[in-house]
Amino acid sequence: MNLADEMRRILRTAGYSLDGWRHAWREEKSLRQWAAVNLAAWLALAVLRPPLWACALIVAHGLLLLAFELANSAIEASIDYISTEHHPLAKAAKDSGSAAVAVMGLGYVVTWVFALLALS
């Protein structure tokens, strides 16, 4: 594969990612909420100026939280596409995706606690 072909492939893939982001942004209120939390956190980091390691952890954790929310949205969309019937396995899949986001959210809070403790 030559460089031009590889660049076209990368741009095409980036377009798919952007399409996924746009869809999730439109359809998933929780993604918009977590994005707002991230924005507020970045502003707080600029004001509080915790150690660089704490900033890095908070930013990375916040981005991972968005990634988990996107993955959860993908799980939910896939289950809904397959069937609208209520099934215990469908519920388990959706609930597990939601639990993954909740665990990441809890980790985000814990990261903030450590960052704030580092300031004192």
Which of 6, 69, 76, 85 is the catalytic position?
69
State how far the alpha carbon of 34 is from the alpha carbons of 26, 102, 104, in Å: 14, 11, 11
SS3 31: helix
Rounded-to-integer distance, Cα 72 and Cα 94, Å: 7
Residue with tokens 């069937």: 83
Smallest CA-to-CA distance from 61 within 118, 104, 117, 11 is with 104
pLDDT tens for 42-70 read: 999 999 999 999 999 999 999 999 999 99
Catalytic residue flag (residue 69): yes
Domains of the chain: 29-119 (1.10.287.3610)
- What pLDDT tens digit does each residue of the chain (120 aa) get? 788 889 999 999 999 999 999 999 999 999 999 999 999 999 999 999 999 999 999 999 999 999 999 999 999 999 999 988 899 999 999 999 999 999 999 999 999 999 999 888
Rounded to the nearest 10 degrees, how much is the dihedral formed by the CA atoms of 101, 102, 108, 114?
-150
Rounded-to-integer distance, Cα 105 and Cα 107, Å: 5
Rounded-to-integer distance, Cα 23 and Cα 75, Å: 14
